[in-house]
Structure 1
Amino acid sequence: MARVWLVTGASRGLGRAITRTALDAGETVVATGRSADAVRDGLEGYHDRLHALALDITDAEAARAVASETVKRFGSIDVLVNNAGYAELGFFETFTDAAIRRQFEVNVFGTMNVARAVAPHMRRRRSGLIVTISSVSGLVSNSGGSVYSASKFAVEGWMEGFAEELAPFGVRSLLVEPGMLRTDFMDRKSASFGGIDIPDYAEAVAQYRSFVEGANGNQPNDPKLLAARIVALASQVETPARLLFGNDATQWAGAKIDKLREEIAQSADLG
């Protein structure tokens, strides 16, 4: 029996790949983006089971309306993929307060808006899966990624606790932590750089911008493979709490774990 998926940020990148993969598996997908037309344009040929809706996830009322419309039309939301987001890439002091707040408004509070709209339905049914697209940057932070990582660290902490709150009601959670995916995530449609010029950081910022521009389109990990992994896991009775994807992600996370162990041991030595 086909399930009903609700996917945010479905107009391109990983969201589009997940939507297409779920549709290919015979599922029904309510795919959202800031422009419903952009969602449809990227997913031609699926119109019998694809239902595109406009959604700005920072609008809590709009998120509730989409969830309500989905349940009313299809009877359920079996899988929520909280995918929409973007990256503020650059050095912390080069960002305005408004830019940092916008990062959290979308990546954290927007993601919460959608989960808050869908979770009551899943609790009532005592069934459902919430897939939250985080990042290995939600586990590891580096220079140039402090603001983006801060938003993803927040998502990780929130969803880790929220998952425990939902588990007694049969609602499962999957936190997805990809490494660098070969999408347009690092182009100017998804990534934004700080606009404050600080001479002390000028050389480092230039090097970082060069790295990002060179990496865009050349990232090592295939989003189609990740989409297939997510759709396959959604069919399983037992779902892991986390999915690290990509050799880069596992290496960075492993190095972080080793570092934490060292720091814990050093703290213990201090008595």
Structure 2
Amino acid sequence: MKTQKTWFITGASRGFGLEITKAVLASGDRVVGTVRSKAAELSAHFNNDPDLLVITMDVTNEQQIKAAVQQAVDQFAQVDQFAQIDILINNAGYGLLSGVEEATNEEVKQNYEVNVFGTLNVIRAVLPFMREKKSGHVINISSVGGLGAYIGWGLYGSTKFAIEGITEALAMEVAPLGIFATVVAPGFFRTNFLDESSLISSAQIIPDYAETVGAMRKFAAKVNYQQPGDPEKLAKAFVALGNSENPPVHLPLGKDSLERFRSKTAAFEKDVADWFDTITGTDHDDVKTNKPE
């Protein structure tokens, strides 16, 4: 008989969060889905499924997060004394389309507040319960833009680069405690990410960037809902990841994400080969270095 797990999913009302919630419930597990507003609507969407607890929570509000996590643990413990938060999906976030120079300090700070500090807020609230049980899986959602930079997406991508690094370190720190950490980097999926509900464009537009960032703005509008990735298949991949006994630290999803990673590493290796003597020439003379073939 399947042991029922409890998933804590932020940003569960739309996009990846909604699709993952559907797939997890269909698999027979429980879901704690957090939303910023209209919790009743999400519950109704799933016909008030008893395995779904929807909680109003803002990932930038630490007190709300702590209260939500405690509520989840307490409520499911009433039906299962062994219930805990088994899998955390840090999904809440939004995009910022802007040239590096164009965005204001406030626009960048707010993007970091949600995408990076919001993720950290939730991790800090959930990990004490996982440490107590000596088990759990933290899954942070990054992006193909967290593997390699794109014109117009450098600032948003930098928040995802941060998530990549945070997860790498976290995975090493919690491994001895019986806890896993994975960072998932989806490519371009057919969701509402490019809608105004999930994407902000900088208020300032500098004409000198018309051929680069301006072209990207036009491209983003054109390809909305034409992206290659299937969100339902992504959600099934998350269910498989959550049930894996040996999950990876890094999981790119989509052929485009994998290609972006491979092209970046190939370009990086070429830079190393071209600049090998300069790179290694900064060491002390008594440090031996083997030059690659």
Asked whether the two chains share a fold, i.e. TM above 0.5, the reply is yes
Cα distance, 1:266 vs structure 2: 2.5
Deviation at 1:197, TM superposition (A): 2.9
Provide structure 1 residue ranges, at least 5 long, that are not aligned to the other structure. Answer: none
Q: CA deviation at 1:207?
A: 1.7
Report how many aligned residue pairs link the two structures: 270
One-letter code of the match for 2:57?
L
Provide the C-alpha distance between the structure 2 equivalents of 1:158 and 1:233, rounded to a whole number of angstroms. 19
The secondary structure found in structure 1 opposite 2:203 is coil
Distance 1:38 1:59 in 2: 22
Aligned-residue offset at 1:38: 4.2
Consecutive unaligned residues in structure 2, runs of 5 or more:
77-82, 282-293
Instruction: State the Cα distance separating 1:235 from its structure 2 match.
Output: 1.2
Q: 2:245 aligns with which of 231, 234, 237?
A: 237
Aligned twin of 2:11: 9
Asked if 2 retains the 8 angstrom alpha-carbon contact of 1:13 and 1:183, the reply is yes
1:175–1:241: 8 Å Cα contact kept in structure 2?
Answer: yes
TM-score, normalising length from structure 1? 0.96
Does the 8 Å CA contact 2:19/2:235 hold for their aligned counterparts?
A: yes
2:252 aligned with 1:249:
no
Taking a change above 3 Å as real, the CA distance of residues 30 and 230 of structure 1, as seen in their structure-2 partners, is same
Write out aligned runs for 1:17-36 (5 A): 17-35=19-37, 36=39
> What's the TM-score once normalised by structure 2's chain length?
0.89
Aligned partner of residue 92 in structure 1, secondary structure: coil
Task: In structure 2, give the amino acid aligned to 1:37.
Answer: A
Task: Show the counterpart of 2:133.
Answer: 125
Alpha-carbon separation, structure 2, partners of 1:32 and 1:7: 6
1:133-190 Cα distance to aligned partner (Å, 9 max, x none)? 1111111012111110110011111111011111110011111111001100111110
- 1:104 — aligned with what? 112
Identical residues among aligned pairs (%): 39
Task: Report the structure number with the largest CA radius of gyration.
Answer: 2
Mapped partners of 1:236, 1:204: distance in 2: 41
**1:85 Cα shift?**
0.4
Deviation, structure 1 residue 205: 3.5
Q: What does residue 96 of structure 2 align with?
A: 88
Is 1:213 aligned to 2:215, yes or no? no
Q: Which residue of 2 aligns with 1:39?
A: 42
Q: 2:184 aligns with which of 172, 176, 201?
A: 176
Match of 2:232 in 1: 224
Residue identity matched to 2:40: D
Q: Quick check: 1:23–1:46 contact (8 Å CA) kept in 2?
A: no
Q: Where does 1:179-198 land on structure 2 (aligned, <5 Å)?
A: 179-198=187-206
